[in-house]
Amino acid sequence: MQVVLAQPRGFCAGVTRAIEIVERVLERHGAPVYVFHEIVHNQWVVNDLRSRGAVFVDTLAHLPAGSQVVFSAHGVSAAVVAQAQHLGLHSVDATCPLVNKVHQQAQRFVRQGRTLLMIGHAGHEEVVGTMGQAGAPVHLVSQVGDVAALNLPTGKPLAYVTQTTLSLDDTRDIIAALHARYPDIVGPEVDDICYATQNRQVAVRALAAQVDLVLVVGARNSSNSNRLREVAAHDGVPAHLVQDASDIRPEWLRAPALDTLRVGVTAGASTPEVLVQEVVAALRQRHAGPVVQLAGVREDTRFRLPVQLAVPVV
């Protein structure tokens, strides 16, 4: 077996920033620190922070006044922000700056008097947060077929924004369908798909071209990890999402006759490298062989912490 690693893979700058925010709040204020929703979609990360005093909640209603609460990297609605203030909570916003950029674009389109559409998956925290930040009703489009079913008010110009973690191919097809039906619709000046999503999807496509099987390390509820699996499968390679090494099935690893099985490994933007290395170790334990890392984009993006956390406690 040859194991081939995609580059880039794993943590992006927004995830790194969100986790550090929770760590800094714990360092400054001690446990418990409440986190509204999973800080990122990875159970290993969530469990690690929980072991250090983070408490993950899906409602703010019963938190004690004066509590420290961190909003997740996916962003929250304006109503959640207002509720935290009303309850006397001390909130720190860990929303990814690239998700915040989508919020701001949505608000600009609404201020321009446009009817707003959002391309995204219903119920995903980022979509809920963005629609709740727009300041006006938002029409959700999740797939190409939804475009034909739209019943939009007449006489108002249209605009769209997109969830940052979608498949580039799916987004492109939905946007094309929107332009075909509504030729005057406008979107952001640049893609809302974030650099990390784009880089990882380009990398997994390059990986799929060179291997017999792709394993994507990521949580089942991670949108960007699921999209990586879909991109690889779309290119005709068997692809599976694994949360950790225990999810690997022996039947996936049958080598072609008289040949070496080439297994590609990548990871979603919320997946720590430790899980990738555990998967690699498990593969090599079953079938020893070389590990090769493909050349790819080297990411050096860093996002600033919120002002109140920028200086570490001495």
pLDDT above 80: residue 203: yes
What sign has the CA pseudo-torsion 224, 227, 233, 238?
positive
**Domain 2-11+195-293, CATH among 3.40.50.1000, 3.40.1010.20, 3.40.50.300, 3.40.50.1100:** 3.40.1010.20
Return the structure tokens found at 75.
Answer: 């962003």
Confidence of residue 167 (pLDDT cuts 50, 70, 90): confident
Q: Which residues are catalytic?
A: 126
pLDDT above 80: residue 310: no
- β pairing state of 115-119 and 90-93: unpaired
pLDDT above 70: residue 298: yes
pLDDT above 70: residue 192: no
As beta bridge partners, residue 262 has: 2
- β pairing state of 239-242 and 158-162: unpaired
- In the chain, domain spans: 2-11+195-293, 13-96+304-309, 98-181
pLDDT above 70: residue 258: no
Domains 2-11+195-293 and 13-96+304-309 share a fold: no
Average pLDDT, the chain: 94
Distances 311 to 15, 302, 305 between C-alpha atoms, Å = 19, 16, 9
SS3 content of the chain, % helix, strand, coil (to 5): 40, 15, 45
pLDDT in the model for residue 313:
58
The whole-angstrom separation of Cα 162 and Cα 103 is: 10
With b meaning 16 or more CB within 10 Å and e meaning fewer, what string describes 258-284? eeebbbbbbbbbbbbeebbebbbeebe
pLDDT in the model for residue 312:
61
Task: Single out the residue of 79, 75, 33, 78 nearest to residue 57, CA to CA.
Answer: 33
Return the structure tokens found at 203.
Answer: 């990398």
Per-residue pLDDT tens over the stretch 12-51: 999 999 999 999 999 999 999 999 999 999 999 999 999 9
pLDDT in the model for residue 257:
56
Per-residue pLDDT tens over the stretch 262-279: 999 999 999 999 999 999
Return the percentage of the chain with pLDDT > 90, whole number: 88
Per-residue pLDDT tens over the stretch 114-152: 999 999 999 999 999 999 999 999 999 999 999 999 999
**Domain 13-96+304-309, CATH among 3.30.70.2860, 3.40.50.11270, 3.40.50.1370, 3.40.50.720:** 3.40.50.11270
pLDDT above 90: residue 314: no
pLDDT in the model for residue 191:
60
User: pTM for the whole thing?
Assistant: 0.94
- β pairing state of 138-141 and 158-162: unpaired
What mean pLDDT comes out for the span 163-183?
A: 92
Per-residue pLDDT tens over the stretch 204-219: 999 999 999 999 999 9
Do residues 148 and 96 lie in contact, with contact meaning Cβ atoms separated by under 8 Å?
no
Q: 60: alpha, beta or left, given left = phi > 0 and alpha = psi -120 to 50?
A: alpha
Q: 207: alpha, beta or left, given left = phi > 0 and alpha = psi -120 to 50?
A: alpha
CATH class of 98-181: alpha beta
Confidence of residue 71 (pLDDT cuts 50, 70, 90): very high
pLDDT above 80: residue 67: yes
